[in-house]
Amino acid sequence: MSAYLIFIRDEVIDAGSHDEYLRQAPPTFAGTNGRLVAFDENVAVKEGATPDGVVIVEWPTYEEALAHYESEAYQRVLHLRTGGAKGRLLIVHGVE
């Protein structure tokens, strides 16, 4: 069953760290089955607070999504995201 990693960015708090994260994070997906399906900074909000941006990555399985998040490669760059932006990261099961 597929899974989705969803990051909802509320605010960039350190542009330098955020930019460095955007440079260093994509290579952590090399050799994985993760597929970027959305990266949007112009979100049409119909309910709730307006985010500053949204990223969605699709994975074949929930376990693969968790494994990437917990991987050594991603953990090495995670501090750049958490230091550069406020937001929420969720991993959710698909319905297939």
Query: Region 27-34: what's the mean pLDDT?
Result: 94
Query: Region 88-95: what's the mean pLDDT?
Result: 96
Contact between residue 91 and residue 3 where contact means Cβ atoms under 8 Å apart: yes
Pairing relation of β-strands 85-93 and 53-59? unpaired
pTM of the model: 0.91
Q: What is the pLDDT of residues 2-25, one digit of tens each?
A: 999 999 999 999 999 999 999 999
Structural domains in the chain, sorted by start: 3-93 (3.30.70.100)
Q: Give me the helices (H) in the chain, please.
A: 15-24, 62-70, 72-84
